[in-house]
């Protein structure tokens, strides 16, 4: 039986790191990547706050989701995007992000990306 070709997934994160649904989406993303699907990850709006360095929920006895992000590359997740305007709005330096060199997008770029992907999962 022929192996089905991988499908193209877009995971669109527009909620901040400390929302429970952000963890759920990341779990789904990693599962998708393990199953050898093509995964694209886009941080949009408040989602760009995931890219802040030095997040640490230890004092609050919370699991720090940000610590999982650098491992995404090991799962083959290399297509990472971030909203240019949201980074600017939150005062985030593109040279000091948790994930290096995400592709910066504007609205038109996001629209194009969504059209290219077969399945879009949004966490907002």
Partner 1 sequence: MNTLFVLNRHDTDTLAACQACLHAGDALLLMEEAVYLLLDKRDVVQSIDNFPAFALSGDLVARGISAKIPPRVECVDYAGFVALTLRFDRIITW
Q: Which residues would be at the binding site for partner 1 (CB under 8 A)?
A: 16-18, 46, 49, 52-57, 59-60, 62, 64, 66, 89-92
29-36 long-range contacts (CB < 8 A, ≥24 apart) are 29/72, 29/77, 29/121, 30/68, 30/72, 30/75, 33/72, 33/75, 33/76, 33/77, 34/75, 36/6, 36/76
Q: Which is nearer to partner 1, 59 or 74 (CB)?
A: 59
Question: What's the CA gap between 101 and 92, in Å, rounded?
Answer: 13
Smallest gap from Cβ 76 to partner 1, in A, equals 26
Q: Which is nearer to partner 1, 46 or 83 (CB)?
A: 46
Smallest gap from Cβ 56 to partner 1, in A, equals 5
Q: Which is nearer to partner 1, 63 or 111 (CB)?
A: 63
CB of 65 closer than 8 Å to CB of 32: no
Q: Which is nearer to partner 1, 10 or 15 (CB)?
A: 15
User: Kind of pairing, strands 103-105 and 79-83?
Assistant: parallel
Smallest gap from Cβ 69 to partner 1, in A, equals 12
């Amino acid at each position: 039986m022929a192996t089905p070709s991988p499908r193209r997934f877009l995971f669109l994160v527009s909620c901040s790191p400390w929302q429970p649904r952000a963890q759920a989406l990341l779990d789904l993303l990693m599962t998708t990547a393990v199953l050898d699907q093509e995964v694209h990850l886009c941080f949009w709006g408040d989602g760009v706050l995931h890219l802040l360095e030095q997040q640490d929920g230890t004092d609050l006895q919370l699991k720090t989701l940000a610590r999982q992000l650098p491992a995404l590359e090991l799962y083959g997740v290399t297509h990472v995007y971030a909203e240019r305007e949201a980074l600017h709005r939150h005062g985030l330096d593109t040279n000091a992000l948790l994930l290096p060199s995400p592709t910066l997008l504007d609205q038109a770029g996001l629209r194009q990306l969504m059209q290219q992907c077969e399945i879009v999962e949004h966490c907002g």
